[in-house]
């Protein structure tokens, strides 16, 4: 107890020394670190347009419109092909039906009503639509269907594609009779994901009943108009003929016209019509929610609500595949938010997306909130491969090497403690160490042992000083202490205390790589063509394994050159950054008696797409 009191006393003294900045509640927004990011991304636009043209022709798509949005601005809006068989060209103002992409607009409407206090996400739907209270539950222990469950396709309703395609124009009378009669369940509510168009039709009715306005009117007045989406509508008859894209299906080697379904009670699940210019505003709004920051609210829906909508619910579905034999493993964890698919992709991180398919149309929108980029494609062909086109566009942006995520920024408290820690490493003091430490730090590893470990790391390194700091979030990150003969990396995490003090601290010394290690790394990057046949290998490393790793890295990244050293003891092993034709990579290698003993290529920061 005495030691704990002394630790708390030391903490209090430190707070007085460092002042209010140490305990600042500020959360600096993440930001992009590459000043050339936008020009580098823009270089991919001609390739994207040519890819769209080629794929449109290969797939026999009559016409399409697509857009690229970067940092809230449409950098490319383009129409290709024809909107009808009369030969009228598609442009950025051509209006397409976007089918199930409408679901995210419905989700926004529900959340906006929640923010206004008109409903709760955990309300039983029957609270707003009493006819659902008469439905027979699938099991005796089933709970009521909630609004949240319908938003995430967890309501237990059966999959209804393609049945839902044909009930878009259902009348209010027929829809009311459908609900009054009840429906069969596929699973118990809340137990598993199953895509339900009916669920979103029901949500449309919840919006109507709760807002006192027809669903379409509410979404138009509360979301579309504030965003300036003037061309968007649910009723094809409201769209000027010179702007409307007509839908087609393949009939052998010819195209056959698909009748345009009228607006009806199915509009909330798939009825919206919009243009590329309008849709770019919607994607820009979704991207504007990131990163969290102090700026004034400017969109019709609060930023924290937009982030909530894009977070995903339920149990993720995991998939992994190798698009190329011997190539990198592409892993994805798919989930569903409130009208949006929420996916973690090992190539580009968090991905929000939704597709749309109806007789005559296929569409897809996808954006990467951490990278500030969005892509959408709309086509007038039944189930056109719009999703594949959008993801190919993202891949071309990724290939520029500039599709990097924003980097977290340290809080003033974290940065101040990092500076104090660097000074402590150069000139150790037990008292200063205790003042920086949360009470658990020296209980987890005694002060004397830490002092000895840091002295061993410092040996032979010369004088040291604060070098740089890379935050993982406002309270955690990696400090680089620059020394005359290398550097020391310190991973640190602050405790949830006021003031924030160090609860976790690990250090690793890196000594500058020898000329032998540097030359060996260069030889590895030059040897992709022959699988490393000219390299001298230690018995622990099989030549066949090395060849596979080198081939996989080359397939993903192209030719690479050796960049700065990341870590290593300087003599027996080191890790280097690689600058490659298609993005960055890392190379870790070891040497034994002048021979290569290990070699591993990886994505930066231990990314999930591993060769």
How confident is residue 499, by pLDDT bands cut at 50, 70 and 90? very high
Domain 32-407: state its class: alpha beta
Q: Quick one: average pLDDT of 304-316?
A: 86
Distance CA 205, CA 65 (A): 31
User: Residue 382: what pLDDT?
Assistant: 96
Task: Provide, rounded to the nearest whole percent, the portion of the chain with pLDDT above 90.
Answer: 80
- The secondary structure of the chain in percent helix, strand, coil, rounded to multiples of 5, reads 35, 25, 35
Residue 12 pLDDT > 60? no
Residue 279 pLDDT > 80? yes
User: Residue 2: what pLDDT?
Assistant: 42
- For residue 178, the SS3 value is helix
The DSSP secondary structure of 521-565, one letter per residue, reads HHHHHHTGGGTTTTS-B-TTS-HHHHHHHHHHHHHHH-SEEEEEE
How confident is residue 323, by pLDDT bands cut at 50, 70 and 90? low
Q: Which two tokens stand for residue 66?
A: 């697509």
Distance CA 608, CA 603 (A): 7
Distance CA 21, CA 41 (A): 37
Please determine, looking at this structure, whether the domain spanning 515-606 carries the CATH number 3.40.190.10: no
Q: Which two tokens stand for residue 591?
A: 């040497």
Q: CB-based burial of residue 140 (10 Å sphere; 0-12 exposed, 13-18 middle, 19+ buried)? A: exposed
- For residue 119, the SS3 value is coil
pLDDT, tens only, 189-226: 999 999 999 999 999 999 999 999 999 999 999 999 99
Closest CA to 346 of 320, 365, 323, 324: 320
Residue 317 pLDDT > 90? no
Q: Quick one: average pLDDT of 9-29?
A: 50
Among 96-100, 325-329, 444-448, 585-589, name the one with the lowest average pLDDT: 325-329
User: Residue 200: what pLDDT?
Assistant: 98
Q: Quick one: average pLDDT of 11-37?
A: 64
pLDDT, tens only, 390-420: 999 999 999 998 999 999 999 999 999 999 9
How confident is residue 23, by pLDDT bands cut at 50, 70 and 90? very low
Q: CATH topology of 2-28+409-510 equal to that of 32-407?
A: no
User: Residue 316: what pLDDT?
Assistant: 80
> Where are the chain's structural domains?
2-28+409-510, 32-407, 515-606
- Using N-to-C axis directions, what is the helix angle for 197-211 and 102-115, rounded to 10°? 40
How confident is residue 582, by pLDDT bands cut at 50, 70 and 90? confident
How confident is residue 20, by pLDDT bands cut at 50, 70 and 90? very low
Distance CA 101, CA 121 (A): 21
pLDDT, tens only, 242-251: 999 999 999 9
Long-range contacts of 77-84 (CB under 8 A, 24+ apart): 77/276, 77/277, 77/280, 78/49, 78/52, 78/276, 79/276, 80/52, 80/53, 80/56, 81/56, 83/244, 83/245, 83/246, 83/380, 84/245, 84/246
Q: What is the DSSP letter of 222?
A: I
How confident is residue 484, by pLDDT bands cut at 50, 70 and 90? very high
User: Residue 6: what pLDDT?
Assistant: 42
How confident is residue 352, by pLDDT bands cut at 50, 70 and 90? very high
Residue 605 pLDDT > 70? no
Closest CA to 420 of 410, 438, 432: 432
Q: What is the mean pLDDT of the chain?
A: 91
How confident is residue 326, by pLDDT bands cut at 50, 70 and 90? low
User: Residue 327: what pLDDT?
Assistant: 59
Residue 556 pLDDT > 90? no
Residue identified by tokens 């909130």 is 369
pLDDT, tens only, 526-547: 887 666 778 899 999 999 999 8
Domain 2-28+409-510: state its class: alpha beta
Q: Phi then psi for 536, rounded to 5 degrees?
A: -90, 120
CA distances from residue 611 to 322, 331, 348, 551, 553 in whole angstroms, order as listed: 9, 12, 16, 9, 6
Residue 13 pLDDT > 50? no
């Amino acid at each position: 107890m005495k030691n704990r009191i002394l630790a708390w006393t030391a903490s209090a003294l430190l707070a007085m020394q460092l002042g209010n900045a140490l305990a600042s509640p500020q959360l600096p927004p993440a930001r992009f670190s590459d000043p050339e990011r936008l020009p580098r991304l823009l270089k991919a636009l001609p390739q994207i347009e040519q890819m769209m043209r080629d794929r449109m022709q290969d797939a026999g798509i009559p016409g399409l419109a697509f857009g690229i949005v970067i940092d809230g601005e449409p950098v490319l809006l383009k129409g290709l092909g024809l909107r009808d068989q009369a030969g009228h060209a598609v442009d950025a103002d051509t209006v397409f039906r976007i089918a199930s992409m409408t679901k995210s607009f419905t989700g926004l409407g529900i959340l906006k009503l929640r923010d206004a206090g008109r409903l709760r996400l955990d309300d039983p739907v029957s609270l707003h639509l009493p006819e659902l209270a008469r439905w027979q539950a699938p099991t005796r222990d089933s709970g009521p269907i909630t609004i949240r469950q319908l938003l995430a396709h967890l309501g237990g309703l059966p999959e209804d594609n393609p049945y839902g395609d044909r009930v878009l124009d259902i009348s209010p009378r027929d829809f009311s009779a459908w609900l009054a009669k009840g429906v069969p369940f596929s699973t118990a509510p809340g137990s598993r994901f199953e895509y339900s168009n009916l669920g979103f039709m029901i949500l449309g009715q919840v919006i109507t009943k709760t807002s006192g306005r027809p669903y379409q009117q509410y979404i138009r007045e509360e979301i579309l108009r504030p965003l300036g989406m003037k061309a968007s509508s649910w009723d094809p008859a409201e769209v000027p003929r010179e702007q409307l894209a007509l839908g087609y299906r393949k009939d052998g080697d010819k195209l056959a016209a698909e009748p345009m379904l009228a607006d009806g009670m199915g509009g909330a699940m798939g009825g919206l019509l919009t243009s590329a210019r309008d849709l770019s505003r919607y994607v820009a709004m979704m991207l504007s929610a990131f990163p969290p920051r102090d700026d004034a609210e400017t969109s019709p829906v609060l930023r924290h609500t937009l982030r909530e909508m894009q977070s995903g619910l339920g149990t993720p579905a995991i998939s992994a595949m190798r698009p190329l034999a011997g190539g990198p493993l592409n892993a994805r964890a798919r989930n569903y938010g409130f009208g949006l698919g929420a996916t973690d992709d090992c190539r580009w991180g968090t991905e929000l997306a939704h597709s749309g398919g109806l007789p005559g149309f296929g569409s897809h929108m996808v954006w990467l909130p951490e990278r500030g980029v969005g892509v959408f494609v709309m086509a007038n062909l039944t189930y056109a491969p719009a999703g594949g086109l959008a993801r190919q566009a993202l891949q071309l942006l990724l290939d520029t090497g500039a599709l990097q995520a924003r980097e977290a920024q340290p809080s003033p408290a974290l940065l101040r403690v990092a500076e104090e820690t660097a000074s402590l490493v150069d000139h150790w003091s037990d008292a200063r160490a205790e003042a920086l430490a949360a009470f658990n730090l020296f209980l987890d590893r005694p002060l004397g042992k830490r002092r000895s470990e840091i002295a061993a790391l410092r040996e032979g390194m010369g004088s040291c000083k604060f070098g740089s700091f890379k935050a993982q979030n406002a309270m955690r990150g990696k400090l680089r202490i620059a020394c005359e003969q290398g550097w020391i990396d310190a991973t640190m995490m602050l405790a949830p205390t006021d003031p924030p003090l160090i609860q976790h601290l690990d250090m690793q010394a890196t000594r500058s790589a020898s000329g032998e290690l540097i030359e060996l790394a260069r030889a590895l990057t030059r040897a992709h063509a022959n699988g490393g046949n000219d390299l001298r290998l230690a018995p622990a490393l099989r030549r066949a394994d090395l060849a596979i790793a080198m081939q996989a890295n080359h397939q993903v990244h192209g030719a690479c050159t050796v960049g700065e050293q990341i870590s290593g003891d300087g003599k027996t092993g080191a890790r280097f950054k690689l600058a490659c034709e298609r993005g960055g990579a890392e190379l870790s290698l070891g040497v034994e008696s002048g021979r290569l003993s290990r070699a591993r290529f990886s994505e930066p920061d231990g990314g999930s797409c591993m060769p």
